[in-house]
Structure 1
Amino acid sequence: MPTFDLSNKAASGVPYYTPEQQPTAGTALGKSVPTLLKPYQMRGVELHNRFVVSPMCQYSADNGHLTDYHLVHVGQFALRGAGLIMLEATAVEARGRITPHDSGLWTDSQVAPLKRITDFVHSQGTKIGIELAHAGRKATTLAPWLSEVSKKQLATEDVGGWPDDVVAPSAIPLSKDYAQPKAMTIEEIKLLSKQFADAAVRAVKAGFDLIEIHSGHGYLINEFLSPLSNKRTDEYGGNFENRTKLLREVVTAVRGVIPADMPLWIRISATEWMEWNNEPSWDIHESIRLAKLLPDLGIDALDVSSGGNNAQQRIQFHPRYQTDLAGQIRAAVRKDGLDLTIAAVGAITETEMARSLVDDDNKAHADLVVAARQFLRDPEWVLRSAHDLGVNVKWPHQYERAQRSLDTKF
């Protein structure tokens, strides 16, 4: 009779017992597998499928420190098969938070709560990244559920805000509802690269598999990129080279302090949807120009979003309003023979749309599918999508009794 190891093997590399998930939940079983469920390699990190949980601010941290809430929030995606989980935007300095209750990584005491989360994610065989960020002129706002009730955006000092210490490339507020920012000095700009690098060192200590630098959605680096929010006349303003200088410096600083085999991403807003204004703005053409510079800077992946930098933006909504932007960038970098992973995000709610974005390498819009709200609505989206595609995938051991056969509807 064959012999079996019945020891219920423990997951390795974590400081407590939990059964090893081998293979990882969400891993396709069998040979006929769509691209969406195939592994993907970046430097020393392999994802077991192409599903990525997008960074999602939860506005629930304690002075930048994450709590058990975040362990449960992130853990649900690790249990249910996502290839990669991106932790929410995490500020590199206290005044770089969007709200007083954002995640932070500006001090060593914030490492341990993050390590608890990465340990759990790794115990399930899944990879996890962190998005390092600075909110710039969009800092010191209220959590969405509070602003909806109060009809106010600004978090004042009495609720933990810092409205008199908000910085931006130029002293231009996002709108009348936001703080009046101060234009950053050259010294402050130079310090920012060190703050990102210091946070990256802490992220490595916390056990993250990769790092993303947030350069979109109207936050500080995005504000420098845009000629609408950046009116500087020094080395950080004016032409494309100057407006991208801060981003290039931050990338160089971070790449210089993280392991060589750790992937480094950036997120951008491919357009700020201000083309209608007949003024120079950050658009798809400048995004393509930037994308072609990224591989030489040590960037492995470009996470393509849009908007967020101007209150007058006019978004042209349709089901692929953002993923088409990712497709344009991917086609341009591929045409030049550049090695840059493209991650697409935005209104991806259906399995067939997700499959079509990465299917057929020559015509694909992206290499990875990134979703936020869909995972909030349906944490089992990876398992459900596999079912929709008729593909058998591994479930977590403890949940296998709940798995339906492929010929049964969920």
Structure 2
Amino acid sequence: MSLFSPLTLRSITMRNRLWVAPMCQYEVVKQDGVPTEWHLVHLGSFARGGAGLVMTEATAVSPEGRISGEDTGIYTDEQRDAWSRIVDFIHAQGAPAGIQLAHAGRKGSRCREWLPDKGTRPVDAGGWRTVAPSEIPFEGYDTPIALDLAGIDAVVADFAAAARRAVEAGFDVVEVHAAHGYLIHQFLSPLSNRRTDAYGGSLDNRSRLLLRVIEAVREAIGPDRALFVRFSATDWADEGWSLDETAIVASAAHELGADLFDISTGGTLASPTIPLSPGYQVPFAAAIREATGAPVSAVGLITTSLLANEVIASGQADAVMMGRKLLRDPHFALRAALELGVDIDYWPKNYDRARTTLARW
């Protein structure tokens, strides 16, 4: 097993194990959730650049599920149809297309990342009241509304409807975002979930929303498409969500039809202490792989072809997700193949002379 060996999950074959991580773009200037030409070029460049799987940014399942007003969504047919054009281009470059379905919860209604305004965007400036498991704000944000049982049911229905639209748009992989301090992770973590009903307290209760969403999404996408779940394996806090809890819930999710776990960390706290180093999150992925017997992907400062290949060859993960490295070099997969001495047959013919030049120099 190596970085450039294919991987098949259900009916979907990824041509290699170097995949595009979901990366928010905050580029829907009309604030209608419809992906634009920016998203076509942004995501299409990774497919042209040889990635094994191209994953969208966190794509909202409802208007209030957006992180910012400039996020993409898949809660209308117009959004679905715009995504379909992007999926078609990704497929034309030989890569499967994946979509990450998300609800921001208490971390929603923010301004675009690079603007000076921080915290919750006011309603009169295009923002909205956010929801969460409990009335506990994220640091620097407004206090959210605690979801009642009808609201929780609506969230499950929104994920299912978004998954159906994803199938109609042609996506091959659907990922449920249960990480980085967004709504499902807010239910999982005792730091953000103080409920006393069937969705709070015990691990079984805190994981109930996620498992309901997985069941609903699996039913919506059918047996052929791959279903991923992104977890933060730790809150980096003693009293927070833990690796052991992630392993238990991931095992239950696997039994319900989740095919692969995309393992990251953090997001519940604004400023946790994290020991950053190349590949620092890979051990978390390896632990979930061992505990569940399911395939996993790893992320976190994996920036060289040698490190990416070692993660796969050593059996710590079945794929690596790259984000910022691919922003710097959308054709990194092509470069990595040359650096590792792997002959691949999906170099764009238009770029073929670059392959021979780089190999020589």
What TM-score results when the alignment is normalised by the length of structure 2?
A: 0.96
Confirm or deny: 8 A CA contact 1:141 1:154 kept in the other structure: yes
Residues 1:379 and 2:345 aligned together: no
Distance across 2 between alignment mates of 1:100 and 1:370: 26
1:173 pairs with one of 115, 137, 149:
137
Match of 1:116 in 2: 85
**Worse-superposed segment, 319-328 or 373-382:** 319-328
3-state SS of paired residue (1:369): strand
Partner of 1:235: 198
Deviation at 1:312, TM superposition (A): 4.3
* 1:45 and 2:9 aligned: no
Residue 161 of structure 1 aligns with which residue? Answer: 127
Structure 1 distance, partners of 2:131, 2:201, is 19
CA distance in 2, matches of 1:111, 1:236: 31
Measure, in 1, the Cα distance between the counterparts of 2:80 and 2:254: 29
Asked if 2 retains the 8 angstrom alpha-carbon contact of 1:67 and 1:113, the reply is yes
| Higher alpha-carbon deviation: 54-63 or 232-241 | 54-63
Q: How far apart are 1:153 and its partner, in Å?
A: 2.6
Deviations 1:45-102 (A, max 9, x none): 0011111100111001231000111101111011111010001101111011000010
> Contact conserved, 2:262 with 2:297, CA < 8 A, in 1?
yes
Which protein is bigger by CA-based radius of gyration?
A: 1
State the partner residue of 2:114. 145
Deviation at 1:332, TM superposition (A): 2.2
Query: What is the one-letter code of the residue matched to 1:182?
Result: I
User: What are the residue-to-residue correspondences of 1:118-133 with 2, within 5 Å?
Assistant: 118-133=87-102
Q: Could you tell me whether the CA contact under 8 Å between 1:390 and 1:406 is conserved in 2?
A: no
Deviations along 1:91-139, one digit per CA (max 9) or x if unpaired, are 1110110000101111112111100100111111111100000000000
Amino acid at match of 2:15: H
Matched with 2:321 is 370
Equivalent-residue separation in structure 1 for 2:203 and 2:310 (angstroms): 34
What is the aligned partner in structure 2 of residue 136 from structure 1? 105
- Contact 1:140–1:179 (CA<8 Å) still a contact in 2? no
Structure 1 stretch displaced more, 98-107 or 384-393: 384-393
Quote the RMSD (CA, aligned, Å). Answer: 1.3
Matched-pair identity in %: 46
After TM superposition, give the deviation of residue 257 of structure 1 in Å.
1.3
SS in 1 for 2:296: strand
Question: Residue 64 of structure 1 contacts residue 101 of structure 1 at CA under 8 Å; is this kept in 2?
Answer: yes
Match of 2:354 in 1: 402
Give unmatched runs, 5+ long, in structure 1. 1-33
Which runs of structure 2 are paired with 1:293-312 in the superposition (5 Å)? 293-312=252-271
Could you tell me how far 1:407 is from its partner in structure 2? 4.4
Secondary structure of the 1:144 match is coil
- Cα distance in 1 for partners of 2:268, 2:199 equals 18
* Distance in structure 2 (CA, Å) of the matches to 1:153 and 1:247: 26
1:72 corresponds to which letter in structure 2?
Answer: V
Length, aligned pairs only: 358
| Mapping for residues 338-353 of structure 1, pairs under 5 Å | 338=293, 340-353=294-307
> CA separation in 1, counterparts of 2:337 and 2:258?
30
Q: Does 1:73 align with 2:42?
A: yes
Q: Which moved more, 1:377-386 or 1:397-406?
A: 397-406
Asked if 1:85 is matched to 2:54, the reply is yes
Q: Secondary structure at the match of 2:3?
A: helix
Counterpart check, 1:325 vs 2:292: no
The 8 Å contact of residues 214 and 253 in structure 2, kept in 1 or not, is answered as: no
Task: Give, in whole Å, the separation in 1 of the partners of 2:130 and 2:359.
Answer: 56
Deviations along 1:272-330, one digit per CA (max 9) or x if unpaired, are 1012xxx3x20111111112222211000000000011124221222232111111111
Aligned position for 2:339 = 388
Letter in 2 for 1:104: G
Distance 1:371 1:407 in 2: 23
2-side partners of 1:239 and 1:218: how far apart? 19
Q: Deviations over 1:149-207 (max 9, x none)?
A: 34x23222343111xx21000000011x2121011001100111111000000000111
- The separation in 2 between residues aligned to 1:109 and 1:79, in whole angstroms, is 26
Determine if contact 2:119/2:142 at 8 Å carries over to the other structure.
Answer: no
